[in-house]
Amino acid sequence: MNGAFDLTGKVALVTGANTGIGQGIAVALAQAGADVALVARRDPAETKKLVEEAGVRAHVVMADLSSIEPCERIVEDVVAALGRIDILVNNAGIIRRTDALDFSEEDWDAVMEVNLKVLFFLSQSVARHMTGWASQSGERGKIINIASMLTFQGGIRVPSYTASKSGVGGLTKLMANEWALKGINTNAIAPGYIATNNTEALQADETRNRQILERIPEGRWGDPADIGGAAVFLASRASDYVQGHILAVDGGWLAR
């Protein structure tokens, strides 16, 4: 594969790579030529197989991202196994659904820890690594955060998720502001309504499912593979002048 979208020789680190959007992104990056480190709490055997079928290396790092404890260890592990990290995709995330009047501190803290705090400190660890080789080689590191429609909107019954994804949008811009001159591009993808484990409750709710589909111009739920092309773009040389952008991949949801 040749051209601005070619990732041959690059190493990508994808969190939450076991299923869903993380798997879709990992496979797309592999098909564009990147070796992929798969960070997951459960064995990402299927994702590993799909990545290797693309003819690149797959390296598994088992880690629980409910705290920042494994962040530095993950970076050290991937660099030891694959040489360096060119691309970081912060995909790992969780959601809790309860009316705002009844929402618990425990559910608030759990979501904010994974979706925002770990995202920042893993990015910090990877950025410290990236600035080392970027200053010497002139190449650029790429950090891609996974935002949400709720980066732009309020949502219903998901207060901590909304707060965390709004925070992801802000952190994406801050990282771009601070790290652009250090050789790192930081951007985000805001998936629309994608059929994954996190959205099973919405898909199963007949009323909400109908309301969601009625608003999407494409008339369907997205597939994790739909996010892959956006990830390849933001990971590649084609996006070298894109900084602090939140790219909606939503079937037209925000246009309606």
At residue 88, the 3 state secondary structure works out as strand
Are the C-beta atoms of 33 and 1 separated by less than 8 Å?
yes
Give the residue numbers annotated as catalytic, written as ranges.
161
Round the CA-based radius of gyration of the chain to a whole number and report it: 17
Phi, psi of 27 (to 5 degrees): -65, -40
User: Beta strands 58-62 and 87-90: pairing type?
Assistant: unpaired
From residue 230, give the alpha-carbon distance in Å to each of 39, 135, 145, 201, 211. 20, 26, 12, 26, 26
Rounded CA-CA distance 255/197 in Å is 25
CB-based contacts of 197, cutoff 8 Å, min separation 6: 19, 20
Partner residues linked to 13 by β-bridges: 37, 88
Rounded CA-CA distance 225/249 in Å is 11
Owner of token pair 């260890």: 73
Rounded CA-CA distance 110/232 in Å is 30
Rounded CA-CA distance 155/162 in Å is 7
